[in-house]
């Protein structure tokens, strides 16, 4: 369904609709995949997941910020979230989107914001993941992480398997904690695989490489075929459970999340929260046409 995918990706990038959506709270079914609009709500969601032995990576929603004041506000709110995670003693770390913190405005400005966040998290021994976004931000995000890691060691990032150079990046950054994903944005055929099978093959190859060579691997997928493959691969290669974890997004395949945790695998749920939910939610609709059920269910339940 590439046309539907392109349609939702285009919607996800529409700034006007994004601003409009922010005014109206969680709508269109987004509340089932976004864990609240404020810090107390997200802390409750984390506590609930922790009860089942599931750890969390928390994302303060927001991206592609072009205004310095807005980026500073986002930085302050992320720091407030880190403090709340610490104060509540919940099992969670942070995922940040560099474009929310000014990477599209100015590298050094973004670096200052990110240093404050990572420094605060470092005090509490908390990991900070640098989410990867669109291709134009790929190299700058790696560069940002490298520069921050000259001071702090609690950082890691994401490898998007749809890029031709993904394996190279996994090799280059193997000493960091890496999250391996298929990739969520629309990228040019000059830099990224377009065919699902090609992406899946590269995804498996990079996961295997990372499991064998990297410090710690987060396998972030809802794809049961990949998960079953990983289970067999770690068994065959005697890779201990403390070298990897599975990750899924909040609200998706809940039964499988609980089951994997119950089976004794480390499991981490990506928990987004906040009012800037629109772009995130549209990308989830783009990924899987069936996710449109989230919207229709809410409309018909009313």
Residues labelled catalytic: 131, 179
Q: 7 or 185: whose CB is closer to ligand FAD? A: 185
The answer to whether 167 is annotated as binding is no
Q: How far is the CB of 57 from ligand FAD (least distance, A)?
A: 7
Q: What is the DSSP letter of 53?
A: T
In whole angstroms, give the CA distance from residue 121 to residue 155: 10
Give the tokens for residue 191: 């830099």
Q: Say if residue 141 carries a ligand binding annotation.
A: no
Inter-residue contact 87 to 79 (CB < 8 Å) = no
Closest to ligand FAD by CB, 111 vs 250, is 250
Nearer to ligand FAD, 210 or 221 (CB): 221
The CB-of-207 to ligand FAD minimum distance in angstroms stands at: 11
32 vs 83, which CB is nearer to ligand FAD?
Answer: 32
* Beta strands 267-273 and 244-249, pairing class: parallel
Q: What is the dihedral of CA 15, 97, 134, 104, to 10 degrees?
A: 70
Of the candidates 102, 83, 101, 103, the one whose C-alpha atom is nearest the C-alpha of residue 92 is: 83
Smallest distance from the beta carbon of 211 to ligand FAD, in angstroms? 16
* Rounded CA separation 103/141 (Å): 8
Which residues of the shown chain bind ligand FAD in the complex (CB under 6 A)? 131-132, 158, 160, 181-185, 220-223, 247-249, 252-253, 270, 287-288
- What span, in angstroms and rounded, lies between the C-alpha atoms of 168 and 203? 13
Q: Is 182 annotated as a binding residue?
A: yes
CB 181 → ligand FAD: shortest distance, Å?
A: 3
Would the annotation count 97 as a binding residue?
Answer: yes
Q: CB of 25 within 8 A of CB of 37?
A: yes
Of 59, 256, 49, 279, the closest CA to residue 158 belongs to: 59
Asked whether residue 284 is marked as a ligand-binding residue, the answer is yes
Please give the annotated binding residues for substrate, written as ranges: 97, 283-284
Please give the annotated binding residues, written as ranges: 97, 160, 182-184, 196, 221-222, 283-284
């Amino acid at each position: 369904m590439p046309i539907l995918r392109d349609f939702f990706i285009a919607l996800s990038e529409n700034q006007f609709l994004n601003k409009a959506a922010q005014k109206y709270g969680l709508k269109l079914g987004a509340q089932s995949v976004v864990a609240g609009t404020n810090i107390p709500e997200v802390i409750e969601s984390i506590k609930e997941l922790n009860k089942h032995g599931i750890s969390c990576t928390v994302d303060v929603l927001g991206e592609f910020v072009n205004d310095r004041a807005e980026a500073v506000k986002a930085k302050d709110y992320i720091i407030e979230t880190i403090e709340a995670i610490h104060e509540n003693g919940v099992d969670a770390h942070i995922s940040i989107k560099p474009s929310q913190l000014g990477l599209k405005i100015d590298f050094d400005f973004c670096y200052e914001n990110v240093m404050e966040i990572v420094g605060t998290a470092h005090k509490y021994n908390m990991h900070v993941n640098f989410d990867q976004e669109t291709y134009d931000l790929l190299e700058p995000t790696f560069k940002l992480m490298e520069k921050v890691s000259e001071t702090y060691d609690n950082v890691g990032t994401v490898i998007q398997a749809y890029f031709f150079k993904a394996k190279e990046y996994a090799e280059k950054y193997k000493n960091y904690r890496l999250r391996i994903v298929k990739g969520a944005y629309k990228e040019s055929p000059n830099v990224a695989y377009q065919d699902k099978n090609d992406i899946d093959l590269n995804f498996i190859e990079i996961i295997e490489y990372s499991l064998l060579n990297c410090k710690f691997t987060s396998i972030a997928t809802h794809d049961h075929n990949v998960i079953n493959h990983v289970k067999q691969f770690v068994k065959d290669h005697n890779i201990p459970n403390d070298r990897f974890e599975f990750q899924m997004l909040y609200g998706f395949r809940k039964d499988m999340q609980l089951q994997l945790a119950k089976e004794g695998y480390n499991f981490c749920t990506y928990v987004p929260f906040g009012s800037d939910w629109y772009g995130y939610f549209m990308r989830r609709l783009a990924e899987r046409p069936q996710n449109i059920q989230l919207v229709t269910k809410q409309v018909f339940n009313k």
